[in-house]
Structure 1
Amino acid sequence: MSAAEKEWTRLLELLDEREIVLRATGERLGYLAPAGAMDEEVTGLVRAHRDRLLSTLTGAGTALAAAPAGVAQHRMHGAHAGSADPAVWNITQRITLRGPLEPARLADALTALTERHESLRTRFPDTALGVLQQVLPNAPAELPVEDLRALAPAGRAAALAEATDAEIRRPFDLAAPPLLRARLLRPAEREWVLLLTFHHIAIDGWSLATVLDDLGALYRTGEPLPEDPGRMTDHACWERTVVTRATVAACADHWAGVLGGTPLSVDLPTDRPRPDRRSGRGETVKFRVPAAVAEAVRRYAAAHSTTASAVLLAALARLLGSLSGAPSVLVLLSNANRTRPADEKVVGLLTNGLPVLVPTGGDGGFGELVDTAAETIASALDHGVTPFRMLVEPLRERGVVLPASYPQIMLAVQSTPPIALDLPGLTAEVEDLPGPSTRADCSFGLTPDADGYAGQAEYDADLFDPGTIRGWLDALVADLAEQLEVPLP
């Protein structure tokens, strides 16, 4: 090894050991470092290898800006690479539009959208400096338009179904942005179907609301929006100074104390034996929590000085306890993770999961269970700076016996801004399309709307039949209504 290569290797070791964050903006090299980290040795090596650092960060100058991947993005990069079916990380929206749509105007708005939000035109290479996000120059959006009006009704329906399925199943290449695909189909004179597909590394549920809101504004005005939405590269650099090795170790110590002596596997009754190797095949069942029950959830939460999430988590814990006989259950609760005002409009993957260990019953009844769920969520938020998935191996090293298929159960109660698309002269119906894969034994999602909560359960099709999951969901809604003393319609 040459002297220069030895210096380069030493520099990489020091950057990692001292948790120094490097970023690039054009030809400018910047850093964030703990106090005392940039000593004479590191400073000298950075100066000596500045050109190589910039080349690595920017992909030999092809990127406009670069920074380390965010914590959740780094995890998603690994999950994508390790997935038998990377399309499991697709997020596809089917938007039915009725009215006088202008396709060229929509294509221009999509181009302006990817210019505005850097995550949509970012690639994620694994380099000597780790997994990076490299922001590329913008390019005109591709919006293929397919006219289905000449087809018979059955043919139009089949063509729409085929196009939708193809978008859901077509994986992204994280090295080849954009990480947004758009496809427009026209089944009738004044009806259009817009398919928007994102990779999860570039967007989360909160971001989706921002993206659709901005797309509508860009279509309406035809001009760039004035306010700065914030950048994922900025968030990631800040985050890397907060989620340090010391933070991870402290969080692992905390959760080991909370979880260490508790059985954490939920032995749910399955329709088939658990296979040695999961196929990843998943299905989705939709359900609804009626408006009267949803309103009762909000009133009950207010009376207990907590959130709807605590009430719904308590109801889910009761269901899982009745199915498994477990005295407590571990649920991974989705958290928007936007604690800073600067992150409110950032488009990217910020979401993390909070582990909540909740009893499934108790002498104090449902109210006590809700209070316990609220306290557990609050404690998890206090120690939630490090995503729990980063702690799985450190916890196992500390003797915590997590389920082999962790996470088994996930819950997402959406608190995002409304997900809607407002285009002048058109009505828009937005539908989230679940993919054919699963990320857990069972994931429950609830989104508030004018008619209560729209819910869906994504489940492992290796284990469960749809009728089984449907029965669980009916029992969940019925028990929630009974605990809140609301008659079901």
Structure 2
Amino acid sequence: MSITAAPPEAESTADRIPLSYNQEFLRAFDKGETDGAFGHRHTLVCGWRVTGAIDLAALQLALDDVVVRHEVLRTAVRGDEQGGYQVVEPPSPVALEIRELGEGDGAPRDVRAEEFLNELDARPFEVRELPHLRAAVGRFDATDAVLVLATHHTSTDAWSLQVIMRDLAAAYAARVAGGHAGQDAAAQYQEFARWQQETAASPRLDRARGYWRERLEEARITGITSDRPRDENLASAYGVHRFVFDAQLSSAVLRSARDTRCTPFMVMAAAYSVLLRERTGTSDVVFPTFSSGRYEDRFMDAVGPFFNFVPVRIDTTGCATLGEVLDRAREACVGAYQHEIPFARIAEDSPALLAPFADGSLAVVAFEVLQTAFPMTGTDAGLGFAEIRHRTRSQRVSSAIPDGGLWAMDVLPNGQLAGSLKFDHHRFDESTAAELVARFRELLSTLADAPHTPLD
């Protein structure tokens, strides 16, 4: 039975909870239990430094409260000849691991905190395991610890992990006080899936589809040639190359964004499009990025795989300078977000767009700037929380993605730019990842400091 196959006792079609467009998109990358979208390494893992004495019993109760609150964490995706659907299961306890980190080998605690996070990031998480939430506490001493939350990516996204952590802190505070979290009822992911079905035909959607048909006419996502072609007999083996840019470059990029009325993402997207242009020889660049995909305010506090695949087409043909590429990047990004609709609808109208995914010699590398929806700072119930975002330690083994590569940038609280490039070792050498990052840094620096530099 495949990872998404329905058991014989599956309920009638009329009772089924439909899949969202994004869940249907994930099913297209279903490669079984050990690879692809439903594979055991397609996970999301985040960590926080915690100061203060943790009440472990209250933490366990609070974790379980979160699973009760957000039913997607106990939802299975199934499918049969009639299609895919969701099944919500009863709540069950969250696995909570406690590790005494002590003083270890004498390395700084920040380093060992990141190593602990990386270790758990590399740990498999079977999609059949419910709930789709695990937690681990690594304690240096009674008042200094690391809290790591892990989820399967088919049930969450990066925004959702921020929601989970916020709700966990509220539930913990209530449990420590001897009660339950008095939070308003949360919107459920199945409500979002039903809403998508109900609004599948609307004038707004039709207008947006028209925009995308014109915008993506004859377009294909730009894939880069991998060091080795895909071997269908090998499961992916993802690792991640991490880096942090210096303060001077980071401040220059942020200043450039302000001066040109752009977002930092637009500036970095311009540099990335030039990198793809150099790497592939094509001047008409299309790369995927991600949005929160939530559309309505009522879903902002919900948990689920809301993230939406958004194609950004930056045609650099005729651009004389890097600054002109930035102008086109700004126009492309504004248009993409003003007309955002579920990617599944875009793909229906532009099927050639995804052709590079089928080419075993190419890899599609998505590019994003992370969004921190609900940053955890300050104290709650005697605990202080600080997300571990300044990460410099690369991983030979990491969580995976369904296909290709993922380039993620983050603007840290101190203004520095941090990033990671996730890649499949079977297809790329880490030296290639480092080379791409180094060239991106050069292009970004030149764009920020000397935008009139000739493109070629």
2:329 pairs with one of 370, 373, 376: 373
- 1:229: which partner in 2? 186
Displacement of 1:202: 1.6
Question: Counterparts of 1:151 and 1:399 in 2: how far apart (Å)?
Answer: 50
Q: Identify the match of residue 484 of structure 1 among 433, 448, 455.
A: 448
Shift of 1:209: 1.2
Within the candidate set 59, 74, 77, 1:106 is matched to 59
Q: CA deviation at 1:167?
A: 6.2
Q: Alpha-carbon deviation of 1:361?
A: 6.5
Picking from 173, 179, 182, the partner of 1:220 is: 173
1:435 correspondence with 2:385: no
What whole-Å deviation, never above 9, does each CA across 1:313-333 have from its counterpart, x for those lacking one?
A: 101111222233221222001
Q: 1:69 aligns with which of 10, 15, 19?
A: 19
3-state SS of the aligned residue for 2:163? helix
8 A Cα contact 1:285 1:457, kept in partner: yes
Distance of aligned partners of 1:161 and 1:456 in 2 relative to their CA distance in 1, 3 Å threshold = closer
Distance 1:54-1:467 versus aligned 2 partners, 3 A rule: closer
- Structure with greater Cα Rg: 1
* Closer, same or farther: CA 465–429 of 1 in aligned 2, 3 Å: farther
Q: Deviation per CA, 1:161-208, whole angstroms, max 9, x where unpaired?
A: 79964663323234x521111233445444434332101122111111
> Aligned letter for 1:430?
E
Q: 1:306 to 1:73 in 2, by over 3 A?
A: same
Partner residue in 1 for 2:147: 194
Corresponding residue for 2:237?
A: 281
Structure 1 Cα separation of the partners of residues 94 and 125 of structure 2: 18
Higher helix share: 1
TM-score where L is the length of structure 1 = 0.74
> What does residue range 232-247 of structure 1 map to in structure 2 within 5 Å?
232-243=189-200
- The root-mean-square deviation of aligned C-alpha atoms, in Å, is 3.8
The secondary structure found in structure 1 opposite 2:66 is helix
* Aligned counterparts of 2:421 and 2:114: Cα–Cα separation in 1: 24
1:143 is paired with a residue whose SS is strand
1:465 to 425, 429, 432: 429
Q: Name stretches of at least 5 consecutive residues in structure 2 with no aligned partner.
A: 1-8, 390-394, 451-456
Partner Cα distance (1:314, 1:159) in 2: 34
Q: 1:167 to 1:310 in 2, by over 3 A?
A: closer
2:91 to 119, 134, 138: 138
Matches for 1:252-263 after TM superposition, within 5 Å? 255=212, 257-262=214-219
Contact 1:287–1:456 under 8 Å retained in 2: yes
The alpha carbon displacement at 1:470 in A equals: 1.6
Q: Cα offset for 1:428? A: 3.8
- The CA distance in 2 between the partners of 1:160 and 1:244, in whole Å, is 46
Asked whether the equivalents of residues 94 and 133 of structure 2 are also in contact (C-alpha less than 8 Å), the reply is no
Q: Separation in 2 of the partners of 1:129 and 1:80?
A: 17
Q: Distance in 2 between matches of 1:160 and 1:338?
A: 30
Q: Is the 8 A contact 2:223 2:356 kept in 1?
A: no
How far does residue 437 in structure 1 lie from its aligned partner after superposition? 3.4
SS at match of 1:178: coil
**CA-CA distance at 1:106 after TM superposition:** 0.7
Q: Give the 3-state SS of the residue equivalent to 2:350 in structure 1.
A: helix
Following superposition, the deviation at residue 371 of structure 1 comes to 2.0
Aligned residues: 422
Distance (Å, rounded) in 2 between the aligned partners of 1:205 and 1:128: 32
* CA separation of 1:480 and 1:101: change in aligned 2, threshold 3 A: same
Q: Classify the secondary structure of the residue corresponding to 1:416.
A: coil
Give yes or no for contact 1:73–1:349 (8 Å, CA) kept in 2: yes
Out of 385, 407, 413, the residue aligned to residue 341 of structure 2 is 385
Aligned equivalents of 2:265, 2:235: Cα separation in 1 = 31
Change (3 A) 1:285 1:146: closer
348 and 327 in structure 1: CA distance in 2 versus 1, 3 angstrom threshold: same
Give the letter aligned to residue 400 of structure 2: S
- Whether the 8 Å contact between 2:102 and 2:139 is mirrored in structure 1 is yes
Q: Give the alignment of 1:36-115 within 5 angstroms.
A: 67-82=17-32, 84-85=34-35, 86-115=39-68
Query: In 2, distance between residues paired with 1:429 and 1:219?
Result: 16
- Cα deviation for residue 237 of structure 1 reads 0.7
| 8 A contact 1:357–1:376 mirrored in 2 | yes
* Distance (Å, rounded) in 1 between the aligned partners of 2:96 and 2:141: 18
Contact 1:420-1:428 at 8 Å conserved across structures: yes
Q: Which residue pairs with 1:116 in the alignment?
A: 69
**Larger displacement relative to structure 2 (250-259 or 88-97):** 250-259
Equivalent position SS for 1:415: coil
Match of 1:359 among 312, 315, 329: 315
Q: Which residue of 1 aligns with 2:392?
A: none
Residues in 2 aligned to 1:413 and 1:449: alpha-carbon distance in whole angstroms: 11
2:43, 2:399 within 8 Å by CA — same for their partners in 1?
no
Residue deviations 1:209-251 (CA, integer Å, cap 9, x gap)? 1111111122123232332332211111111223469999987
Aligned to 2:305: 349
Q: Deviations over 1:125-156 (max 9, x none)?
A: 325763222333333434243446598879x9
Q: Which amino acid aligns with 1:75?
A: F
Contact 1:146 1:184 in 2 (8 A): yes
**CA–CA distance in 2 between the matches of 1:143 and 1:207?**
19
* 2:187 partner letter: G
Bigger RCO (CA 8 Å, 6+ sep): 2
TM-score under structure 2 length normalisation: 0.78
Provide the rounded CA distance (Å) in 2 between the counterparts of 1:416 and 1:98.
21
Q: Equivalent of 1:171, from 113, 119, 125?
A: 125
2-side partners of 1:163 and 1:367: how far apart?
39
SS at match of 2:134: strand
Cα distance, 1:96–1:301 mapped onto 2, change above 3 Å: closer
1:453 corresponds to which residue? 417
CA 1:150–1:284: 2 relative to 1, 3 Å:
closer
**Aligned partner letter, 1:104:** A
Single out whichever of 276-285 and 305-314 deviates more from structure 2. 276-285
Tell which deviates more after alignment, 88-97 or 160-169.
160-169
Partners of 2:101 and 2:353 lie apart in 1 by: 59
Displacement of 1:54 in angstroms is: 6.9
Letter in 2 for 1:447: D
